[in-house]
Amino acid sequence: MHVGNYIGLVQSSEQQLANAFAQVADHHGDEPDIYQVCQTLSGWSQQHVTDLQPLVDRYAATKNDEPDRLSQTLFKEPRSGGLALLRDLHDLYLLASEVELCWVVLLQAARGLRHQELESRCEEFDKTTKRQITWLMTRIKQAAPQTLIVAE
C-alpha cells in the first residue's frame, strides 16, 4: 500500500508551494496585486500542510523527496521584472499542478478504499488548489502578451 507515500508527497509539495508563493510575493512586491494575493495563496497551502498532519500520522507517511527536484530547478535566485514575473507564475503553476495531480491520485485511492474521510478531505483540498491554479492562469494570461511582445 502506497497511500502513505502519496500523502507524504502531497504534504511536502504543499510545503514547497507555500514557500514558493511567499517567495514570489516578496520578489514582486512592486506589482499592485502580487504581494497580497500570493501571501493569501501561500497561507492556503500552509493550511493544507497543517490539516494533512492527521492523515500523515494515520498512514505513517514516509517523507518523499521527489518533488524537490521541481522546486530546485524552479526557484533559485530572486528574480524581478516583467519576464521574471511571468517565469515565476509559470513555475508556480507547475508546482500547483503537481499538488493538484496528487489530489486526483489520492482521491482515486480513497474511492477504492471507500474511505469516506480521505475522500472528502481530498475533494476539499483539491478545490482550494484549483482556485490557486485559476488565479495563476488568469494572471499569466494577463502578463503574457505584454511580457513577450513589449517588455524589455
Partner 1 sequence: MEQTRDSITDIWGERTPHFGDWPVRVDRRTTAEPDHWVQSACVLCSNGCGLEIGVKDGCIVGVRGLDRDPINHGRLGPKGLHGWEANHSPDRLTKPLIRRNGVLEEASWDEAMSLIVERSKAIIQQHTSLAMGFYTSGQLFLEEYYTLAVLGKAGLSTPHMDGNTRLCTATAAAALKQSFGSDGQPGSYIDLDTTDTILHVGHNIASQHTVLWMRILDRLAGPNPPKLIVIDPRRTFTAEKAHIHLAPRVGTNVPVLNGLLHLLIEAGQIDQTYIDAHTIGFDELKKMVSSWTPERVEALTGVSADQMREAARLLGSTKTLVSSALQGVYQSMQATAAAVQVNNIHLIRGLIGRPGCGIYQMNGQPTAQNTRETGADGDMPGFRNSGNPEHMNQLARLWNVDVRKIPHWSPPTHAMQIWRYAEQGSIKFMWISATNPAVSMPELARIRRILQKEDLFIVVQDAFMTETARYADVVLPAAIWGEKTGCMTNVDRTVHLTQKAIEPPGEAKSDLEIFVDYSRRMDFRDKDGAPLIKWDTAEGAFAAWKECTRGRPCDYTGMSYEKLRRGGIQWPCNDEHPDGTSHLYTDGVFHTSADDCEAYGFDMTTGGAVTPEEYKANDPKGKAFIRAIDYEPPHEEPDQDYPLWLTTGRLVYHFHTRTKTSRSRALDEAAPDSFVQIAREDADRYGIAEGDLIEVESRRGRVIEPARIGDIEQGLVFIPFHYGYWDDPKRSRAANELTLTEWDPVSKQPHFKYAAVRIRKASAADERELVADQAGLFPETGTNTLNK
- Contact residues for partner 1 (CB under 8 A)? 30-33, 35-37, 39-41, 81-82, 131-132, 134-138, 141-142, 144-147, 149-152
* DSSP code of residue 61: P
d(CA 65, CA 150): 39
In the complex with partner 1, the residue whose CB is nearer, 22 or 151, is: 151
Q: Which amino acid is at 108?
A: Q
Q: Whole-number minimum distance, CB 9 to partner 1, in Å?
A: 25
In the complex with partner 1, the residue whose CB is nearer, 64 or 97, is: 97
In the complex with partner 1, the residue whose CB is nearer, 1 or 149, is: 149
Q: Whole-number minimum distance, CB 51 to partner 1, in Å?
A: 16
Q: What angle do CA 70, 75, 77 make, to 5 degrees?
A: 150
Beta carbons within 10 angstroms of residue 152's beta carbon: 5
Q: Whole-number minimum distance, CB 40 to partner 1, in Å?
A: 7
Torsion sign over Cα 95, 101, 103, 106: negative
In the complex with partner 1, the residue whose CB is nearer, 30 or 68, is: 30
